[in-house]
Amino acid sequence: MRKKLTSALAIGAFLMLANNSNATIVYTNITDTPLPTDGSNFDINMDNSGVAEFSFTDMMGPYITFETNNHLATVSDINTGQGWDVVKGFTLGTTINANSGYYDQGDGFIAPDFATGYYTFPTNVDTYLACKFNIGASTYYGWIRVNWNGTTLVFKDYAYQNTANTSINAGDMSTGGSTNGISSIEKNDFEVYPNPFSTEINFKITDKNSISSVSILAIDGTIIEQIKLNEMDQKTNLSHLTSGSYFILFEMKNGENQIQKIIKN
């Protein structure tokens, strides 16, 4: 019978917290949420403070407004006098920092019709929006993953590096790794790959005695399966899972809990 985690762990399933408190990536999942077409806003609150840093509206294509001191990386055809700020799409693994190109003036579009002459936002592929925002007087960098099919913008997840003025790679969900789906604990004590996967997932462990238990979690934090690690390098067949996003929860014998998001094709 499936069981629920405690509220602390359920919340933890949506936040990738690394061991080093000075270098933590905070991750939030969104279950493929399309931008409303009724004129209402879809807000992104990176740090869960209750105040949205980025607000999206369906207006001549997705239109984004930013709070003061918050920015998305954009491109602008100012040399021809067009001047419109168009949000730039980044690929998985691209470094996001102060040099990512924040040319906006408080707002921007994703591929509006009048901008296709100088930039077209990628379509039908997961794309990352590079962002910087302030918490107090400090600046932080993060990403928002979206998919744009030319008509509808779908939001998938977002994350930020909670150390001020520290870069993050597009797609990073934990401090130990990200672009290839490999996360790490205590200097690479384990690896999980490939990610996304189709049938089997690999666990490569330096010291399996340091891990108390390994569980597969649904997005809502429900434990749907527990895995017994018998080998230091072990393949586990997860072909029975339906396509979608899951979390792997590693409960460590030292009391720490580490979470890795995985995606099944």
Tens of pLDDT, residue by residue over 130-176, are 999 998 889 999 999 999 998 999 999 899 998 899 999 998 876 44
Q: Residue 257 has which token pair?
A: 């809990």
Q: Is a pLDDT exceeding 60 seen at residue 113? A: yes
In terms of C-beta density within 10 A (0-12 exposed, 13-18 middle, 19 or more buried), how is residue 209 classed? Answer: exposed
pLDDT value at residue 154: 94
Domain annotation for the chain: domains and CATH numbers? 3-15+180-264 (2.60.40.3080), 25-169 (no CATH)
Q: Is a pLDDT exceeding 80 seen at residue 248? A: yes
Beta bridge partners of 217: 223, 247
Radius of gyration (C-alpha) of the chain in whole angstroms: 19
- The DSSP 8-state label assigned to residue 265 in this structure reads -
Q: Cα separation of 98 and 165, whole Å?
A: 8
Q: Cα separation of 257 and 13, whole Å?
A: 10
Residue with more model confidence, 123 or 259: 123
Q: Cα separation of 24 and 197, whole Å?
A: 25
Q: Cα separation of 98 and 42, whole Å?
A: 25
pLDDT value at residue 185: 35
Q: Is a pLDDT exceeding 60 seen at residue 13? A: no
Q: pTM for the complete prediction?
A: 0.61
Q: Cα separation of 258 and 251, whole Å?
A: 7
66-93 per-position pLDDT tens digit: 877 899 998 876 655 555 688 999 998 8
State the amino acid at position 57 in one-letter form: T
Residue pair 141/166 in contact (Cβ under 8 Å)? The answer is yes
- The DSSP 8-state label assigned to residue 45 in this structure reads -
- Count other Cβ atoms within 10 Å, centred on residue 228: 8
165-212 per-position pLDDT tens digit: 999 999 887 644 433 332 333 334 567 888 788 999 988 877 767 777
